[in-house]
Structure 1
Amino acid sequence: MPDHGEPQHPEQTREIRGGVRQSVAHESAVRHVSGTAKYIDDLPEPPGLLHLAFGVSTKAHATILNCDLSAVRNYPGVVAVLTADMIPGRNDIGPVIKDDPLFAENEVVFHGQPIFAVVAESYDGARRAASRAKVSYGDLPAYLDIKAASQHGSLIEETQHMGAPVEEVRRHIAEAPHRIRGDLTIGGQDHLYLEGQIAMAIPGEDRELHVFSSTQNPTEAQHLIAQVLGRADHDIVVETRRMGGGFGGKETHPALPATAAALAASLTGRPVKCRLTRDEDMIMTGKRHDFQAAYEAGIDDEGRMIGAHVELSSRCGHSTDLSMAVNDRAMFHVDNTYFLGLAAITSHRYRTHTVSNTAFRGFGGPQGMLAGERMMDQIAFELNADPLDIRLANLYRKGRNLTPYGQTVDDGIARELIERVALEANYRERRAAIDAFNRESPVLKRGIALTPVKFGISFTSTHLNQAGALVHVYLDGSVQVNHGGTEMGQGLMTKVAQVVAEEFQIDLERIRVTSTRTDKVPNTSATAASSGSDLNGMAAANAAREIKHRLTAFAADRYGVSPEEIHFRSGKVYVGNVPLTFTEIVAAAYRARISLSQTGFYRTPKIHYDRATHRGRPFYYYAYGAAVSEVAIDATTGESRVMKVDILHDVGRSLNPAIDRGQIEGGFIQGLGWLTSEELVYDSEGRLRTHAPSTYKIPTARDRPAAFTIDIWERGENKEETIHRSKAVGEPPFMLAISVFSALTHAVAAVGEHRVFPALQAPATPEAILMAIEDIRRRMEPGAKGVS
């Protein structure tokens, strides 16, 4: 029986190394910078490995009249040529709606669509062989953009409506003291992850296949591979250790290389790797949806919204993919932090003969939010007010806190964040100084803006809000964790390890999180919707707590104390006041035949949503942030630069402040690229012309503002019972970059002495800025309309 006297152990109050809320390094940080982190193309190539390359369409929309592959088959080193008629299961890799064939059969529907695949002894040989195909086409009408698809009624689903009836809203707007009307073009964005799309399939015994896939969704890859091969899910194991970036581009589109490699491995009986080149990746896989937004709103004399109708149109591409949910999310975030009054939101989802657009950080939310923020800027212009005052006037508050989809906003965080960052960034003094500068500077113009973010956290498809985990405790007291989330550089594995370390009160180095595998944790959701830590952290914690409960019951019984007298603390297990090592308790429990392994499961509570009516509570909680951005433009060249950024962001009680700060900075910079430099250009034949870093400009270190302040809100705490009261941080910071677009709008308006509201479009490239300036000058000519 232990001694229950006063403990004499200073380690009793020692903080464990690497528990939650500590800024520990990413678990692969050293390997990342030293080049020793293993990605799929770094894995040892198994004996007999074959390489796969695709033969693709050179037309946007056409019938296939003839496909002569004889020269392909006869090319040296070619082992097999795969076509649709060789698929034993279903020729479809659509994640939701089955409208996305692996290989085109009689018709091609976008430039770059796979028609066949070559399997050869070498990577270069497979690509060279694929180029030998002779395909003849019969041209069909191609709808390449939103305008063409709209004219021909080409939709992936019927138009969706959220909120009040449109005609009722329009009557409401017509009665308002002030009204605005406008539109905005919002460009797409390529993910441009460092590691391209890649998969390697290795045949096993009987019908088994082990597939290494760079995917955010191993379970979906497993399902689709099984579907294409006509096999059961249990025949397929998909494994993902890490990705070199994902951002949504590896949620559904990894199915293309994974299913093709699996099919080739199944038919040849040999391992097969499929690695897309950068150009192939950008041409063949989807991107952020480009949008067109049109809006009208009624406002009272104080600038408060009385009613609004926002109409969103998006280019979805040739197949449905995730476009229904992406466009739903855009509708959800038009309001951002604002009560729109009586609101109606209409969404058109257009099917075009271009690559199928897909998930991208924010999942439609940024597009909807940008439209909402454009309305705030235009209201301020119409009323000759500071945009910050208009934003504050329209914030959700008691009595004006119901979203267009019926969820109540009752946390009141936005105002405190906005007022705090405005004060600390000296927003009002700087705006006055900038306006004075612009009056004296004919060429260089400056702008400043403060915009907030309210981003709903949860999958809007309710059933996806679940996660599983598997925790093993070994005899030496070390712990292995597996869960359904995937690591794409965002630090998920590190955070989950910290959570388990905190539960067992042991140092982080005692925890190892292993590759995500479908044979360890089944039926998982994609690592997406910023929910990776929320879901998988809680699942892992639940598993660890169950093992801890067993150890507690065992120790209480063995030492004759109550369970309340057993404490896991500071690397020890205290039985009363007597410290035992974690390893000692674990070893004793093993000898007593106590299970030291446990699955964990978590499902997000409180959420519900009826998509038929677009009503409910789709989000468990909201994450918030606010940013002040200052920019400068050259009115003669359109060149712009971000001079200074101040961010205050709400992450609840941070699981790892260092990783969260990295996500805030990275998200902002990626959003900056979307809104200023990243431009997708298709030609009249439907060919993507910006399909390499030489023609597609992402932000570099030189685009990072020289003055860049990031603060995590120290009072943050999630009122909902999330993992350690933290909040998601993957997607919300992306939209802080909208402050840059609003600041550019302010700078461009200064060219016309703020007499004309700028028709600035996104991305605000130098060309777009010059076009907006020219439009201002044209509208200011004598007799022109639109001058205030």
Structure 2
Amino acid sequence: MRSLIEINKANLADTSLRSVGLGGVGRSKKHESAEKHVSGEAIYIDDRPELRGQLHAAVGQSTIAHGNIISMDLSAVKAAEGVIAVITVDNVPGHTDIGPVFPGDPVLAIGKVEYVGQPLFAVAATSHDLANRAVKLAKVEYEELEAVLTVKDALAKQSFVRPPYSMKRGDSEAAITHAEHQLSGQINVGGQEHFYLEGQISTAEPTEDGGMLVFSSSQHPSEVQKLVAEVLDISLNKVVVDTRRMGGGFGGKETQAAPWACIAALLANESKRPVKFKLNRADDICMTGKRHPFENEYTVGFDNQGQIKGINITVNGNCGYSPDLSDAIVDRAMFHSDNAYFLDQATITGNRCKLNTVSHTAYRGFGGPQGMMTIEMVMDDIARHLGKDPLEIRKINLYGKDERNETHYHQIVEHNKIAELISSLEESADYRVRRESIELFNSENSILKKGIALTPVKFGISFTVQHLNQAGALINVYTDGTILLNHGGTEMGQGLFTKVAQIVAEEFQIDADTIGVSATRTDKVPNTSPTAASSGTDLNGKAAQAAARIIKQRLIDFACEKYSVTESEVSFVENQVRVGTECFSFAEFIQQAYIGRVSLSATGFYKTPKIHFDRATGKGHPFFYYSTGAAVSEVLIDTLTGEYRLLRADILQDVGHSLNPAIDIGQIEGAFIQGMGWLTTEELVWNDKGRLLSNNPATYKIPAISDAPADFRVDLVPDDPNREQTIYNSKAVGEPPFMLGMSVWSALKDAISSVSNHKLSPALDTPATPEKVLWAVEAMKAGRKTSA
């Protein structure tokens, strides 16, 4: 396995990767906006010039977690300097509930509040500062009600946003009872703030036909379009939503960009002036949902070798006050409760707990990471119980190829190479040699302890809601041979626009730099799905390919007719079109086609095949394919303080036939570090009144460059195209590597367990802050599994 430095040197030495003009499929090509990003020239919504008469929005927020609104005196707000418009829910012309799937998300509070920070009313003023000052002048009287602030309280009160649900395979109770060994355990898995660099922001501009032009930092422009139309009580064809780029999203802008766009549009409709709504960072953190915290538990039965015979897992998701996307998120936690392991007899139950906090939402991995944490805990616990290396237990429980290959939701795990991938990484990362070296180090050091872990990831690719697995694209070829590409995917820094442009370049065999990408707009490609579920390239790449092939076929037909040749005599190669014995530049031939009245614009469409799931029976094929990877992490902890350091990380990820290796490696690096942050440093803290205390960078710590390992090695599985018919046989890369961060958590547990000579498996809730590591160490010293 090569280090990042070696990979970068190899890339620089390869002239094909240095050629900016090239960039077809399989080549490393820089992000289409890379230079703009680093120079500051990339235009985000807040960079757009202010329109004539533009106003700025702010909202008044609830100061309690749960209560009825007795009165709301806004007279001082209306009289405040610069205030032009003030609205409450009574001023909403259309729908007042903007729940993305199920009802429960009022655009502004309706008679009661259900979390601290819930918007009560909205203000438009002549400046951002004046709007934010004005909202603080409101006088609100509440009848305070009892708030549900813990998962345990929600379970006791049966407080759910959606009914509980179970998936089952075989008779798990009997299998557990008859197994040679039984264990039980529980884990609290913390949430995570998205902490995108660009906060939530929207601008709404009234149009002459009574409609609205909205610029929204959203992963789902079509949903913003729909909800803006509904709150304004106008038709969808009067609303256009434009998203050129986001400064990060990570799921936090899939559904929760819509409320701010709706409020901006309502204020714009009320004032008849453009309105910008930009959340301050502290407000953004308090008023937007997080990764769902989970409290999970298990009971498992296994044999003397450590092979699981039966297991019961319950995942309890903290959903906050409304459904949002929680039903599907908890479903995915249940789907991924197996991770890479065959659970022959299994019962998986998911509870969607309603609490009086902000409604939690999508985040990279969409519940999958929280589900996987339980089974990885199980692997470590079995290993300590039997006195074995956790990797040995993981390997013996992996899915097989011809048997032991059916999931607890009855999908067959096809084309399974996870065992080979793990073996390859185990060898290339020198796992065995390092394990022995670490054991020697720990025996010679009483204060500093090292730990190592190799953990796999098997992640299902597709939206689990079937109808979202579709995409459209629009391609316009101009008479100078340049192309303008538009599709339903949104660019949030992940390189989607670059990859899809490469796909179109590959189809026409032209330079990728001749392809322009335009903002995602609802008037170009309608009814789009969110850019989420790691499906952005899979879906939009296929749709763009379909559009390109339509135009390409038209060009071939034109060439055959004009030059009296057969299709086999027409080819596209190296920016040229060869027709029989003649050869034209791509631009020349496009000009000919235009003169010949050939349509040079086309739309393409794609829908993912094979996707189905019957929720009533808990059986189906919810995923098109699985993306796999593995990571080895080595850590060093200080047993006197609980402080620790990640010394080295080795990653091997299967991305099929990589569309752009440089972008894929960048995604893997970023996902791993973000996953590590979720499990180690990023701690969300609410007080006993439901107020979020960790609401700024001083109280919420995302990983810094100093937290990255000094020795960081990333490699892609070579020459292993996806067996499914994905775009050029590639595999998704956005979310799967996030879960590789679990290897850091497991390595910390390995180091802590060494304090007890690996006789005990420590309970280590996440995030595993230094305090929690220290408590776990003290528990090991006292001969307890947990310090509780």
Task: State the SS of the aligned residue for 1:349.
Answer: strand
Q: Distance in 1 between matches of 2:350 and 2:288?
A: 24
1:425 paired with 2:425, answer no
1:443 corresponds to which of 447, 467, 474: 447
Quote the offset at 1:136 in angstroms.
1.1
Q: What is aligned with 1:329?
A: 332
Task: Give the aligned partner of residue 47 of structure 1.
Answer: 52
- For residue 108 of structure 2, the aligned residue among 63, 79, 103 is 103
**Secondary structure at the residue paired with 1:754?**
coil
Q: Structure 2: which 5+ runs fail to align?
A: 1-15
* TM-score when normalising by structure 2: 0.96
**Which of residues 191, 209, 219 is equivalent to 1:216?**
219
1:474-493 matches, cutoff 5 A: 474-493=478-497
How many Å separate the matches in 2 of 1:318 and 1:334? 25
How far 1:774 sits from its partner (Å)?
Answer: 2.4
Q: Give the equivalent residue in structure 2 for 1:5.
A: none
The one-letter code sitting in structure 1 at the alignment partner of 2:739 is M
> What is the CA-CA distance between 1:350 and the residue it aligns to?
0.3
The answer to whether the Cα contact below 8 Å between 2:449 and 2:752 also exists between their aligned partners in 1 is: yes
Note if 1:406 corresponds to 2:410.
Answer: yes
Is this contact kept in 1: 2:83–2:130, CA < 8 A? yes
Per-residue deviation, 1:438: 1.0
Corresponding pairs, count: 769
Q: What's the Cα RMSD here?
A: 1.4
CA contact 2:211–2:234 (8 Å) conserved in 1: no
**Corresponding residue of 2:13:** none
Give 2:763's aligned amino acid.
A
Name the CA distance, whole Å, in 1 between partners of 2:614 and 2:216. 34
- Provide the secondary structure at the position in 2 that maps to 1:159: strand
Identify the residue that residue 185 of structure 1 maps to in structure 2.
188
- Aligned letter for 1:289? H
Q: Is the 8 A contact 2:387 2:759 kept in 1?
A: no
Does 1:198 find its partner at 2:198? no
The answer on 1:160 being equivalent to 2:165 is yes
* CA contact 1:15–1:570 (8 Å) conserved in 2: no
- Deviation of 1:16 after TM superposition, in Å, equals 7.4
Measured at CA, do residues 401 and 53 of structure 1 come closer, stay the same or move farther in structure 2, by a change above 3 Å?
Answer: same
Distance 1:15 1:217, change over 3 A: closer
Which residue of 2 is the match for residue 716 of structure 1? 720
| Cα deviation digits, residues 551-594 of structure 1 (max 9, x gap) | 00000110011011100111111112421111121111111111
Q: Any residues of structure 2 matched to 1:162-311 within 5 Å, and which?
A: 162-164=167-169, 168-311=171-314
How far does the alpha carbon of each residue in 1:71-119 deviate from its partner, in whole angstroms, 9 at most, with x for none? 0000011001110000000111110011100111210000000000111
Q: CA deviation at 1:655?
A: 0.4
Local SS of the residue matching 2:709: coil
The 5-angstrom pairing of residues 76-115 of structure 1 reads 76-115=81-120
What is the CA–CA distance in structure 1 between the aligned matches of 2:745 and 2:415, rounded to whole Å? 27
Q: CA deviation at 1:405?
A: 0.5
Q: How many Å apart are 1:709 and its aligned residue?
A: 0.2
Shift of 1:752: 1.8
Residue 164 of structure 1 and its aligned partner are, at CA, apart by 3.3
Is 1:738 aligned with 2:742?
A: yes
SS in 1 for 2:174: helix
Task: Using the TM superposition, give the Cα deviation of residue 196 of structure 1 relative to its aligned residue in structure 2, in angstroms.
Answer: 0.1
Q: Is the 8 A contact 2:21 2:513 kept in 1?
A: no
Counterpart-to-counterpart distance in 1, 2:47 and 2:286 = 24
Matched residue, 1:128: 133
Query: Percent of aligned pairs with the same residue?
Result: 55
Structure 1: state its 5+ residue gaps.
1-10
Distance of 1:127 and 1:98 partners within structure 2: 29
1:534 aligns with 2:533: no
Match of 1:608 in 2: 612
Please give the alpha-carbon distance, in whole angstroms, between the structure 1 residues aligned to 2:75 and 2:649: 59
Report the Cα distance in structure 2 between the residues aligned to 1:709 and 1:776, rounded to whole angstroms: 32
Question: Could you tell me which of 66, 69, 83 is aligned with 2:71?
Answer: 66
Partner of 2:8: none
> Match for 1:559: what amino acid?
Y
Q: Which amino acid aligns with 1:233?
A: L
Residue identity opposite 2:631 in structure 1: A
Please say if 1:521 is aligned against 2:529.
no
Matched-pair contact (CA < 8 Å) for 2:756–2:783: no
The one-character-per-residue Cα deviations of 1:378-435 (angstroms, maximum 9, x if unpaired) are 1111111111111111111121000001100121210111001110111011111111
AA at the equivalent of 1:284: M
**Whole-Å separation in 1 of the counterparts to 2:214 and 2:786:** 60
2:80: which partner in 1? Answer: 75
Pick from 378, 382, 385: which aligns with 1:382?
A: 385
- Separation in 1 of the partners of 2:267 and 2:767? 41
1:148 is the counterpart of 2:153: yes
Aligned to 1:769: 773
Aligned to 2:9: none
How far apart, in 1, do the equivalents of 2:327 and 2:772 lie?
29
> Does the 8 Å CA contact 1:330/1:368 hold for their aligned counterparts?
yes
| 1:330-384 superposed Cα distances (whole Å, 9 cap, x missing partner) | 0111111110120110111101000000000000000111111111111111111
CA distance in 1, matches of 2:615, 2:120: 35
Shift in Å at residue 66 of structure 1?
Answer: 1.1
Could you tell me which amino acid in structure 1 is paired with residue 773 of structure 2?
I
Q: CA offsets per residue over residues 687-731 of structure 1, 9 Å max, x none? A: 000010110000000000000000011122100011010000000
Aligned with residue 318 of structure 1, among 308, 316, 321: 321
Using the alignment, how far apart are the partners of 1:512 and 1:204 within structure 2?
27
Matched, 1:692 2:685: no
Q: Note closer, same or farther for the CA distance 1:786–1:504 as it changes in structure 2 (3 Å cut).
A: closer
Match of 2:559 in 1: 555
Conserved in 1, the CA contact under 8 Å of 2:290 and 2:361? yes
* Compared CA separation, residues 635 and 15, structure 1 to 2 (3 A): closer
Are positions 1:565 and 2:578 aligned together?
no
Give the C-alpha shift of residue 611 in structure 1: 2.1
User: SS at the partner of 1:333?
Assistant: helix
Give TM-score scaled by structure 1 length: 0.96
Q: Which amino acid aligns with 1:187?
A: G
2:679 aligned residue (675, 682, 685):
675
- Give the C-alpha shift of residue 15 in structure 1: 12
How far apart are the structure 2 equivalents of 1:615 and 1:635?
A: 47
Greater shift, 761-770 or 317-326, is seen at 761-770
